[in-house]
Structure 1
Amino acid sequence: MADDHTHVLDFFTPRAAGWDSRFPDDGPSYAAAVGQLGLRPGDAVLDAGCGTGRALPALRAVVGPRGTVLGVDLTPAMLEAAARAGRAESGVLIRADVAQLPLRSGSLDAVFGAGLISHLARLGADTAELARVVRPGGVLALFHPIGRAALAARHGRTLTGDDLRAEPRLRALLAGSGWRLDSYTDEDDRFLALAVRRP
């Protein structure tokens, strides 16, 4: 596990300060994705791997002042950047590993994960841990502000069927860890997979 943490920290720590400026136009797509979660005022939601907290204001807007918004990330520099950007006003920032969340079972209504899945060390176990903290019928949103093909092109790769986000692969992964894939969108300007926590 330490090696997994080192990889994540090595990747994100030097990128934290400039992260938001690299993707300045993503705000509306985050808000639109959050709007698909079906959250209501007073609900409790986790932004897993929150990074600089770009989803937190949108999450706060839908759950309102009585709701609970948590942002969890492994990288201190990302959480510091989130605080500098004023996003701690929208949610509680917590340094923690998605693989071991400091939360009670079934305590959340939803989990939002932007760009999360490619950084999970143990996909099955980690998505099962996300399922543990969500009530039955709650929602998991796996989001990216660009689709699979555009993301692969950005990284100089071609898209293959064994991509983690390919629908059959993602459906099977989630089914094995307590989720049912409910909707799947993969367009040039958005990737959004919505899953429901099974009883």
Structure 2
Amino acid sequence: MHSDPAHVREFFAARAADWDDRFPHDGPAYRAAVAEIGLRPGQTVLDAGCGTGRALPFLRHAVGPSGAVVGADLTPEMLAAAVRAGRGADGALVLADCARLPLCDDVVDAVFAAGLIGHLPDPGACLRELARVTRPGGLLALFHPIGRAALAARQGRRLTPDDLRAEPNLRPLLDEAGWTMNGYTDTDDRFLATASTKA
């Protein structure tokens, strides 16, 4: 969708101020997805491409006060919107490209990524980087509050066989990046692909 990080940043910077207002009913879908990935109290979770931080309160609730939540995003305006919405209290917000994270190897138990994969200039590089920072056996959840067909309709386009999030395309991409796909759901009201890092 986007050719480089500067275009991604520009796209979201222009939309940051009213992003939450455009999609006011997504909260329950975020809550359900976070609940499904099975986070436990005390764990460390990364929200990759956290945007305005809509998942952060649910991630914080899942890992509890003894856990750690990090939200990383490329766009300063989106992080500023997260702070304005009070979500900075739910996790540490970091300005970073998900393909070059300022994190050590094997430091997070899980990665939550909402709407991220379709905006990446190099999805493989980002998925490899997410695997690098995730402990062996750690989890990845690629989420969108609506499914592929519904999103395509919203954007006025048709689904094509080369769609990155189609299971036959996504499974080998994850595999090459160090992940094993565990689950795949693509319905009108949700997209959720889960994977774990290879030991």
Q: TM-score, normalised by structure 2?
A: 0.97
Alignment RMSD (CA, Å)? 0.8
**Structure 1 residue 185 corresponds to structure 2 residue 178:** no
Give the Cα–Cα distance (whole angstroms) in 2 for the partners of residues 11 and 166 of structure 1. 24
Give the Cα–Cα distance (whole angstroms) in 1 for the partners of residues 36 and 129 of structure 2. 22
Per-residue deviation, residues 78-133 of structure 1 (Å, max 9, x unmatched): 00000000000100111011011111101000000000001111111110000000
Give the Cα–Cα distance (whole angstroms) in 1 for the partners of residues 123 and 64 of structure 2. 31
Matches within 5 A, 1:116-135: 116-135=116-135
**2:73 alignment counterpart:** 73
**2:38 alignment counterpart:** 38
**2:153 alignment counterpart:** 153
In structure 2, stretches of 5+ residues that fail to align are none
Give the Cα–Cα distance (whole angstroms) in 2 for the partners of residues 158 and 66 of structure 1. 44
Deviation of 1:155 after TM superposition, in Å, equals 0.9
Deviation of 1:34 after TM superposition, in Å, equals 0.5
The one-letter amino acid of 2:152's match is A
Q: TM-score, normalised by structure 1?
A: 0.97
The one-letter amino acid of 1:156's match is G
Deviation of 1:175 after TM superposition, in Å, equals 0.3
The one-letter amino acid of 2:135's match is R
Deviation of 1:145 after TM superposition, in Å, equals 0.3
Deviation of 1:189 after TM superposition, in Å, equals 0.3
The one-letter amino acid of 1:163's match is D
Deviating 4+ runs (over 2 angstroms):
none
Q: How many equivalent residue pairs? A: 197
Give the Cα–Cα distance (whole angstroms) in 2 for the partners of residues 6 and 100 of structure 1. 14
**1:89 alignment counterpart:** 89
In structure 1, stretches of 5+ residues that fail to align are none
**2:162 alignment counterpart:** 162
Give the Cα–Cα distance (whole angstroms) in 1 for the partners of residues 6 and 62 of structure 2. 34
Aligned partner of residue 128 in structure 1, secondary structure: helix
Per-residue deviation, residues 50-75 of structure 1 (Å, max 9, x unmatched): 00000000000000001000000010
Deviates more, 1:163-172 or 1:117-126: 117-126
The one-letter amino acid of 1:154's match is R
**Structure 1 residue 196 corresponds to structure 2 residue 166:** no
Percent of matched pairs sharing the same residue: 65
Aligned partner of residue 142 in structure 2, secondary structure: strand
Give the Cα–Cα distance (whole angstroms) in 2 for the partners of residues 54 and 99 of structure 1. 21
**1:172 alignment counterpart:** 172
**1:29 alignment counterpart:** 29
